[in-house]
Structure 1
Amino acid sequence: MAGMSAAQAAPDSGSLASRALLMVVLWLGFWLLAAGLVIGLLAIPVAQLHFRDTIDLSGIVAACAGITLAYSLRPRRAGSAAADVVPTPLRRDEAPQLFRFIEGVAAKVGVTAPFEVHLVTTATAFIRAERTWTGRVKTLSIGIGMPLFVWLSEAELGAVIAHEFGHFIGGDTLLTPWVYRTRLSIGTAVHALDDSVFFLDEPFRRYGQWFLRRSTAVSRAQEYAADALSARHFGVASACAALEKIHLLEPMWFAYFHHDLVPALNCSVQLPVFDGYRRFCAAAPKRREVQEAIDGAAERTSSPYDTHPSLDERMTALGGGASGRLSGPVNCAGLLGGEERLETIWFERIGGRDWPGLGWDAFGDVVLGKKIQARFAGTDMAPDALPLTRLPEIALSLDAWWPRLKPDGPSFLSPAGQRNHVLDVLRDWAIASLCHAGFALHVRPGESLVLKRDGITIEPGQLLAEACQGRLTAATVEAYMATSSPDTAPAS
């Protein structure tokens, strides 16, 4: 696609419509093939019983194969991305500048339909059309990711919204759900047939792969067409910058949101969301599970079945190039009254209007540490009842502690899962014990929890690791609890 201009990248809507219709026909063919094979297999024992009054081994095998196939291909409820969308849309009086801005973008691209705006917790954007039974558009739902307001310029955000309007103009809001559902339906069915003992998965796998290749072309053409519209109205530079920023923001924001922000918000406190993200980005080194989540997203290789072209393919089609780094935020949060106002609006919508506000520096000691202490207060693992000096002994007998620490109700954890659960409880118990001894808990987004007192810094995860390795003694723990020397604590 080298040298392809934005205009050349845009197929006509009639071509997209015909290809989307083809996907529906192919989807119907898939299920007719499945129904025919199930009926054919089940007909064998029925015919044997009718003509021979008995069912032989081949009939039994065919019946089992037919039942297995029918069960594997049973309809399943598709997952939904709606959990990422703040359900209550913004009101015009809350964000008049943003509404005027979107109206300006709509006027540029020629869209006149009424719309509502939703905040999205991911670093992305979307558009959906609510239609009447006759197909007339009632309302467009436009979703804009919260971090986009803080890291994109107004021109770049305009390019993103124009891209989404491009999907509506091209008929994608009507066609894409069909394409997506057929892809999901066939992909789920093929996956369910993996390792079939009757080798029935092979024809469906081949059909499914062929279908996915054809439907991928439709999805990618839709993206190129929307990109072309975006660049035509807001410039190639803004369209490319927006694409690259979203590409670089997404894995980091996802890791921050799910590994740091959401667990903290479970304590019902308002924390500075974007300040936490900046701290998260600057954290070094990051916690192991956080770094693994970021690396996993960054190292994901493109697949021929991806619905979106790669960043390089999209930018090449537009005639731009990637810088390879996320520039500092240029911030168009003024469209919502500023960064703090954006956070206030979001907290109101997730039910946190009355939560107390607190900074990240105080959160660990004031809220989280006390919450962890309350978990063990009055139990047989309270610091006074079970001193932390027992940690070295307990850490070497994790399996024996599973019956005592297992969660309520039936558990289906593997032995490794059981040990991890015990380790999680022991880590929180160590935090509670150290807080009880006067240590202050410090939460740093992206990094491991640490506890500090009189120049001593202890990382509970490292303390537990040393105990499991047999390198920690009760006397050493007792010294940590009593001493004020900064040289006795394990390195954080």
Structure 2
Amino acid sequence: MGAMLRALRALVLLLGFYLLSLVLLAALIGLDVLVFTWGHGPLTAKVGFVTVLLAIPVVRGMLMLRTPKGEDPPGVPVTEAAEPRLWALVRELAAAAGTRAPDRVLLTGEVNASVSEQPRLLGLLPGPRHLTLGVPLLTGLTEAQLRAVLAHEFGHFTGGDTRLSALVVRGRVQIGRVIGQFHAKADDKVAADRTRQQRASAKRVAKGKKAKEIDTSGVGATYRTMARIYTAYGKLYLRASLSTARGQEYAADLTAARIAGRDATASALREIPALTAAHDFYLDSYATLGLAARLLPPRGEFFGGFGQLLAAREPEPAGLRTKLPRVPVGPYDSHPPTADRVRRIEALPADGRADEATGAALALLTDPARTLAALEDAVLLDELLAYPRASGWEELLNASMAADLSAARTPLHRALTAYTGQPATLAALLDVIDDGRLWRLAERLPLSEEAAAAKGRAFRAFVRPTLHRSLRTMVLAEFSARSLLRWEFSWTGPATVRLPGWGAGAEGDSPEAVLDAALEDAVADHPDTDRLRALLPPVIQHA
């Protein structure tokens, strides 16, 4: 579909909103005329009042003439003087796409790149253009892959997609605003009626009568009916506009393949889902590791550590690159499945450009470390920026684990407190075990129906894993509180506990294996705490 036809389609969809609104207003006016002609008394006034209330959201939606401007995500705007190599690449690719370069480049902390435009006269006249570029993309992509990503985005400029989006967004926002107003008015009616019924019920109770059940099931039905009408058109609007958007993505992919090469475009499409998954994992497991201890990674490492993770785990995303999910396209998806996009690109003739620009895209920045630090200031909340910085990832890990262990309240903690009526301590638990009361204590753990019904050895088998995990947590918490352990940081696997001063076991087992063996003894069918007590300093045993 050409740009002119897409513009006409967007305009027709927007005019459909106004036509629907005019039809509804005409229906309300017709209802008023009918009632005032044939009705009499309070009914006419009530109907007139209701139709005016229903007409207000419709008129407000029609009079919202300006398209709301989307807010830029938090990020670092970069000038051509500050980042000449990046801007040179941007201008080169825009020229290759046959379009005007963006007026502003914003670096963000997201695994994403996008372009936008602020046209005038509903997209008839061009306006300022923006490029939003995620630093995690620069971290994980090669320069050739980045060229493909940028060429794709500039393909949207070439096709007029960003200018036409003003029409689409305007209709989408106007429909959503009208629906929201009708739902808000319905909710207000429900709240007012509920309050009225509650007051009436309270008066009945005060008179010694039985309170009536609150029922608001039919309240606000007229408003919700109007909302459903606009919702139905909104679904049609989204289906039509977003199906067009999927075609625009295919066209932009072809622009990328023409400019950056077939292989670079296909590999970028394969790489981005893997980077997205890796970045989500990094944020959850590393960047925010110290928040419980109110501690941030070293300066610049909140985003900079992502590169270290990718380097350490380089082979792991291979499966995500090669086996892209073929998710069916829903009617409201703006992008086709990545697998289909890759298939189309890889079906193009080879162009012999597989070995171009294989260096890291992050090297395009003049001073990556400075940019990563500035990005933290722009993206992180002021409350987080006030946290002190760890000297390294090892310190961050140890502080985080210490905070988690000190706040740990396992099922065994709660069961022990309920059983003894005293604060849950490791020393108290060891005494309970030595007194032969462990399995009576275990009956106070949260149990499934199957576990609660089990007896003897079957019961012990059900609860033993919970006991083992909780007891290990209590032991580590006691050691951590006395600075008797540390954690070994790793980019490639889970953190490993280190217990300074512990030697290997009699058979050369690691200190961790020695601890696990002692824990198994303590929760065995016939519990024995001797090996565990031998590992604990006296101050813990008798706390």
Structure 2 length as normaliser, TM-score?
0.57
2:110 is aligned with 1:110: no
Single out whichever of 250-259 and 441-450 deviates more from structure 2.
Answer: 441-450
2:480 is aligned with 1:435: yes
Which residue, 316, 331, 334 being the options, matches 2:360? 331
Name the structure 2 match of 1:269. 297
The code of the aligned residue for 2:240 comes to: R
Q: Is the 8 A contact 1:347 1:353 kept in 2?
A: no
Name the structure 2 match of 1:314. 341
Distance 1:34 1:394 in 2: 66
2:77 is aligned with 1:25: no
2:115 is aligned with 1:127: yes
Which residue, 292, 298, 302 being the options, matches 2:329? 302
- 1:335 positional shift: 0.4
2:125 is aligned with 1:140: no
Distance 2:72 2:534 in 1: 47
Q: Is the 8 A contact 1:16 1:222 kept in 2?
A: no
Distance 1:113 1:169 in 2: 10
Query: What are the Cα deviations for residues 84-127 of structure 1, in whole angstroms up to 9, with x where unaligned?
Result: 541x3023344222122212212222334452221122221011
Name the structure 2 match of 1:347. 376
Name the structure 2 match of 1:162. 151
- 1:364 positional shift: 1.2
Name the structure 2 match of 1:362. 395
Q: Is the 8 A contact 1:158 1:234 kept in 2?
A: yes
Distance 1:372 1:318 in 2: 48
| Aligned residue pairs, count | 402
Q: Is the 8 A contact 2:297 2:393 kept in 1?
A: no
Distance 2:297 2:154 in 1: 36
Distance 1:222 1:258 in 2: 34
Q: Is the 8 A contact 2:111 2:275 kept in 1?
A: yes
2:219 is aligned with 1:173: no
- RMSD, aligned α-carbons: 5.5
Which residue, 194, 216, 221 being the options, matches 2:242? 216
Single out whichever of 244-253 and 355-364 deviates more from structure 2.
Answer: 355-364
Pick closer, same or farther for the CA change 1:14–1:429 going to 2, 3 Å: farther
Q: Is the 8 A contact 2:25 2:55 kept in 1?
A: no
- 1:220 positional shift: 1.8
2:535 is aligned with 1:483: yes
- 1:173 positional shift: 2.0
Name the structure 1 match of 2:262. 236
Distance 1:37 1:452 in 2: 76
2:335 aligned counterpart, secondary structure: coil
Pick closer, same or farther for the CA change 1:139–1:457 going to 2, 3 Å: farther
Using the aligned pairs only, state the percent identity.
Answer: 21
Distance 2:528 2:131 in 1: 58
Q: Is the 8 A contact 2:394 2:488 kept in 1?
A: yes
Pick closer, same or farther for the CA change 1:243–1:40 going to 2, 3 Å: farther
- 1:256 positional shift: 3.1
Distance 2:6 2:403 in 1: 55
Distance 1:153 1:18 in 2: 39
The code of the aligned residue for 1:306 comes to: D
1:210 aligned counterpart, secondary structure: helix
Q: Is the 8 A contact 2:95 2:101 kept in 1?
A: no
Pick closer, same or farther for the CA change 1:337–1:213 going to 2, 3 Å: same
Q: Is the 8 A contact 1:49 1:55 kept in 2?
A: no
Distance 1:97 1:169 in 2: 23
- 1:274 positional shift: 1.6
The code of the aligned residue for 1:141 comes to: H
- 1:306 positional shift: 0.7
Pick closer, same or farther for the CA change 1:305–1:188 going to 2, 3 Å: farther
Distance 1:280 1:369 in 2: 22
Q: Is the 8 A contact 2:141 2:361 kept in 1?
A: yes
Q: Is the 8 A contact 1:256 1:280 kept in 2?
A: no
Structure 1 length as normaliser, TM-score?
0.62
2:171 is aligned with 1:182: yes
Name the structure 1 match of 2:271. 245
The code of the aligned residue for 1:89 comes to: P
Q: Is the 8 A contact 2:73 2:108 kept in 1?
A: yes
The code of the aligned residue for 1:303 comes to: G
- 1:332 positional shift: 1.7
Unmatched 5+ residue regions in structure 1?
1-10, 285-296, 322-328, 399-426, 486-492
Pick closer, same or farther for the CA change 1:13–1:71 going to 2, 3 Å: closer
The code of the aligned residue for 2:394 comes to: D
Query: What are the Cα deviations for residues 323-377 of structure 1, in whole angstroms up to 9, with x where unaligned?
Result: xxxxxx9622110147645534433544769964644333211x4246568989x
Single out whichever of 160-169 and 32-41 deviates more from structure 2.
Answer: 32-41
Name the structure 2 match of 1:416. none
Distance 1:228 1:102 in 2: 18
Q: Is the 8 A contact 2:282 2:306 kept in 1?
A: no
Q: Is the 8 A contact 1:95 1:336 kept in 2?
A: yes
Name the structure 2 match of 1:96. 84
Distance 2:51 2:474 in 1: 52
Pick closer, same or farther for the CA change 1:279–1:232 going to 2, 3 Å: closer
Q: Is the 8 A contact 1:117 1:141 kept in 2?
A: yes
Q: Is the 8 A contact 1:152 1:331 kept in 2?
A: yes
- 1:275 positional shift: 4.3
Distance 1:104 1:432 in 2: 58
Q: Is the 8 A contact 1:256 1:446 kept in 2?
A: no
